[in-house]
Structures are given as structure tokens and as C-alpha cells.
Amino acid sequence: RQRLMENARRRLREFDVGDKFSRLPLPRAAVLLPLLVRGGRLHLLLTVRSMQLRRSPGEVCFPGGKREATDKDDIDTALREAKEEVGLQPEKVEVICRLMPGIDKMNNLVTPVVGFIEGTFQATPNPDEVSEVFVVPLDYFVKPLNYKTLSYKTSSGYITRMHCFIYDDQEHKKSFKIWGLTAQFAVFLALVIFGERPTFEVDYDLDNLISSSENYFNNLYASIYERKKSNL
């Protein structure tokens, strides 16, 4: 277990973006990518959004949300939201890094914060926000059993590839659909940690993952920025 975690820490720190993108003029949000070890394998904890929520009810996502004025940084946002949504205490998270951000459909800049949590963690979902909590082996995001790709056009007209995974959860006896930005972050995390080629196509040059992921983000951001300028 310790070796598995140490190898993951080492790989993740190479990809830490810190606050490199903090000056971009977009509203900010952050999500926590909680890693845990179970049965000798790395797993990711995910949530299902409550059906009562106005935006994306019933969709799979990571704990997270919009930045509040009292948050010091993206790490603060991610940890606060994880506590509110699934009862994960901030001091129980070993924060490792911040990975390349994404841009959601509301044009929020979303930063994924990666942290280790105990394999024994028992979530206490806040029913106003979260209906279910489940875990997926991280290697499912490079070697899935049920996967398809969708062509996706962003609000700014940028065409990109959207990953869509169906994961059959034995514990819950049901299937979960993981797609959109959540799937994008999970795939990137798995690529970083395992350093191997997935069984499907991705938008990155896997031999130059750091620079190609930055190029991908810069192109996406440029398309939004151009759209904003043309609307002025």
C-alpha cells in the first residue's frame, strides 16, 4: 500500500500546476479527486448529485463547487465542499497536487485537487446535494469494460472529445454513467499515475503529457476568450 501511494505521489507532483492559472478572468470552482487504496488497488471516490438540484441533477461528479469569498485558494474550496457534501474532514485529506484545470459548460474554471484519503472512509452524504457515494478502481479509466466517445461542441464552438464510461458497481448492484468534465479529470489522473496508454483515444500526446495537456487547455480557453471578445 505504501509503495503504491508513494509512486502515485511522485508522479502527481511532477504534474502539479500550483496556482499557475489563478489569474485567468473566469469564475472559479474546484473539485476534490479523492484517492484511496482498497484491495491493493487505487480507487477514486465519486458522488451522484441529488435529484433536487437545479443543475445537472442525478449526474456523477466529484465533491466540489464554486469558490466562496472566504476560500483562500482552490484547495480550500475543494476541501470545504467535500466536507459539506460527504462529511470528509479536511484534516483527513493528504493533499498532493492541483492538476491542469478544465472549463465547465457554465465557463467556470474548474481546478481538480488530488488528495489521499483513508481506505476505510465512510461517507455521510448531505441529502440536499448528494444522493449516493461510490468508488471506482482508477485503472478503469484507462482500461474500461464499457466505454464510448462522444463528439462535444463547447459553448464557444470548440469541438472536443468527450469520454463516457459505464461502470457496473457490484456493491450498489447498479451502473453509473461517468462522463463530461468528471470523466476528463479521471482519465487524466489515471494517465498521470499509471503512465500507460489507454485502450481508447485521448486528446493528448502521451509522450509529452504535460505540454500537450497545457496546449489542450490553452486552445479551449482561447476559444472562450475569443467568443467573449466578439460578444462585447
> Which pLDDT tens digit goes with each residue over 138-187?
999 999 999 999 888 776 677 888 999 999 998 889 999 999 999 999 99
Q: What is the per-residue pLDDT across 102-118, written as a single tens digit (0 to 9) for each?
A: 999 888 999 999 999 99
Distances (CA, A) of 67 to 6, 82, 177: 30, 13, 26
pLDDT of the residue at 101: 98
75 pLDDT band, cuts 50/70/90, is very high
Q: Using only C-alpha atoms, what is the Rg of the chain?
A: 17
Class of domain 1-231: alpha beta
Instruction: Supply the DSSP symbol for 48.
Output: E
pLDDT of the residue at 2: 87
Whole-angstrom Cα distance, residue 177 to residue 28? 25
Domain boundaries defined on the chain: 1-231
Dihedral of CA atoms 213, 216, 221, 224 in degrees, nearest 10, equals: -150
CA dihedral over 109, 58, 93, 37, signed as positive or negative: negative
> Does residue 225 register a pLDDT over 90?
no
What's the pTM value of the predicted model, to 2 decimals? 0.94
pLDDT of the residue at 223: 86
Q: What is the mean pLDDT of residues 177-200?
A: 96
Whole-angstrom Cα distance, residue 122 to residue 129? 17
> Does residue 230 register a pLDDT over 80?
no
pLDDT of the residue at 232: 45
Average pLDDT, the chain: 93
